[in-house]
Amino acid sequence: MPLTIDPASILKPESRVTAVSFSADGKYIAWGEEGGELTICDIDGENRSDPKTIEGGISKLEFAPDGTIVVGSHSGELHGHERLGGHRWSHRLGGGCDHLAVSPSGDLVAVIDGARLLHLLSSSGRLLTHYESGELTRLAVSPKGDTAAIADDVGNVTIIDRNGNVRFKRESRGEQGERVTAICYLADGHLCIAREALDVTMGDEEEIVLEWWTPMGQEAARVTLRQRCEVLSPTDSGVVCGMFDGEVIEFNSERSQITRFKSPYSINDLIPIGQDLLIATWFQVHLIDGEGEEKWQVEHTGLTEMVMASNNGKLIVVAGDNQNDYTRDNQILILNSEAETYLMQSGSDIDSDLQEYSTASPSERGANTVEALYGGEDDYSELLTEAEMTQLSSGKSTSVGSDDLIGLLEAEITLTDETEKEEFDFDSALSGAPDRMNMPPVADAGEDLIVQADEDDTAVVTLDGSRSFDEDGVIVTHTWRDVTNRVIGEVPIIKVKLPKGNHTFTLTVTDNDQASTSDTVTVQVRD
């Protein structure tokens, strides 16, 4: 079983968190909510600043090295706030703040707005330059704050300096176009670009590629990847790549590669912490050491959409949409990477309500009661004897011996004269049979679901097989499979992120006598 840690603190915002950031010293945290509420406090959730509401709702937020909190809104305003909540500066955007990056030096603030226009600002909020080039989709700023890299929707990557000059442009490859899936600046000043072809590429161009470019605009190297790269993060000597299939690959300064981690889920984020690596997947964060061994993992109540670490790597913040406002509070987890670890209970969930529900026995859920099985006394009172009624109400199972079985078979089976039948020796067939015949478990994958897709055309759905039960034993395994027969979970309750369309999942439960049954559930994700 994996190791886990307890959160150092759990903060509970009023509504869905849309952005979160640590101060450079790791002492303070700021977050924004969908209603526009801006909260700044210490990591324990105390000593909060005066409440601030950003008109239009908060889309992006980041602490600058000097302590300024840069906040972007959906309505098209960019603000600089002091830690105590005071307002420093504002800048007007066009159509909202879609991408925000602050250089590690603090000298450059870069924004892509809803009109797909690049804005470069100084740390004081003074506009340095604008740049426009198609539909901008990716943004990165150099460590020194002297340039910004932007990617558009057809695969062009352009490097812009603080004065608005184009340092160089990496043109899209092939005639069919491509998509840049991730970009980042490395410690040595190189720019790393991950791309994939949008269609069959022309000539000798590879489909999925990782490229290294010098600050002067020369392509230094390229490697072909097996899967789409979703995340890039610089290390002291290279770069780590988070792949669509859940693999994490590290390239050193010589461009040789090693696999650091493999998850069954796509990688959301990667944060190097010394020799360790913090990895965010769907609902989990993992801390992996330099040898690829997992130190611990922690599950969040929602998607791991926002994950970051303090500058010294000791504190980690995790936030994301819990996708279920009816049963769970929104949570921001503050983790201490050096906290004491302990064994994670199999099938546990950080939500106490889910853990209690998933671990309850069938009898505690009423699965063996008369009412649960038949719906009420009037439905069966005339069908069962008084002794059977008493036994059923008690929840005890019935054991059938070989003598009883022989009697039942002899009473039900008749031989006709029309066809010669081979005489069957029941005594011989049942010799050595156990005194108890095992009843298989009952698999219950839950009711079919119809859910609404979010803005990104996906939905996070909880598959609940906890109502499965075994009348005369215990269920020892729960196995969820998708339509390809791939195992996607081995606990009663799992969460899956689904695109629009119809999806079918199968739950198989096995009891302590190795008997098993299956049940299916269909999920429709629609607009």
Confidence of residue 15 (pLDDT cuts 50, 70, 90): confident
**Computed from CA positions of residues 74, 78, 80, 86, in that sequence, does the dihedral angle turn out positive or negative?**
negative
Residue with tokens 């996708």: 323
Q: Does a structural domain hold residue 287?
A: no
Confidence of residue 415 (pLDDT cuts 50, 70, 90): very low
Q: Domain check: are 457 and 388 in the same one? A: no
- If one compares 414 and 459, the residue with the highest pLDDT of the two is 459
Q: Domain check: are 403 and 471 in the same one? A: no
Question: Which residue type, as a one-letter code, is found at position 210?
Answer: L
Q: Domain check: are 469 and 420 in the same one? A: no
Contact 460, 303 (CB under 8 A): yes
Q: Residue range 74-80: average pLDDT? A: 92
CATH number, domain of 483, equals 2.60.40.10
Among 367, 494, 514, residue whose Cα is nearest residue 440: 514
Which of 232, 267, 302 is the last residue in one of the domains? 267
Q: Domain check: are 393 and 467 in the same one? A: no
| pLDDT at residue 375 tops 60 | no
Q: Does a structural domain hold residue 112?
A: no
| Tens-place pLDDT, residues 472-487 | 888 989 999 988 888 8
Q: Domain check: are 249 and 188 in the same one? A: yes
d(CA 167, CA 435): 83
pTM metric for this prediction? 0.67
Which of 267, 286, 317 is the last residue in one of the domains? 267
Which structure tokens are listed for 281?
């997947």
Least-confidence region, from 47-56, 204-213, 446-455: 204-213
Instruction: Name beta bridge partners: 19.
Output: 32
Q: Which residues contact 281 (CB under 8 A, 6 or more apart)?
A: 246, 263, 265, 266, 267, 268, 304
- Give the three-class secondary structure for 176: coil
Which structure tokens are listed for 115?
């009109």
Which of 206, 235, 267 is the last residue in one of the domains? 267
Among 484, 486, 490, 481, residue whose Cα is nearest residue 521: 481
Which structure tokens are listed for 131?
């740049």
Among 493, 489, 500, residue whose Cα is nearest residue 450: 500
Residue with tokens 């990104």: 456
Q: Does a structural domain hold residue 254?
A: yes
| Tens-place pLDDT, residues 98-120 | 999 999 989 999 999 998 899 99
Q: Residue range 389-404: average pLDDT? A: 51
Q: Domain check: are 194 and 263 in the same one? A: yes
Which structure tokens are listed for 134?
């198609």
Q: Does a structural domain hold residue 495?
A: yes
Q: Which residues contact 315 (CB under 8 A, 6 or more apart)?
A: 8, 22, 26, 43, 309, 334, 335, 336, 337
Q: Domain check: are 253 and 186 in the same one? A: yes
| Tens-place pLDDT, residues 181-198 | 999 999 999 999 999 986
| Domain encompassing residue 250 | 177-267
Q: Does a structural domain hold residue 485?
A: yes
Q: Domain check: are 407 and 471 in the same one? A: no
- Give the three-class secondary structure for 253: coil
CA-only gyration radius of the chain, Å:
30
- Count of structural domains within the chain: 3
CB atoms within 10 A of CB 346: 10
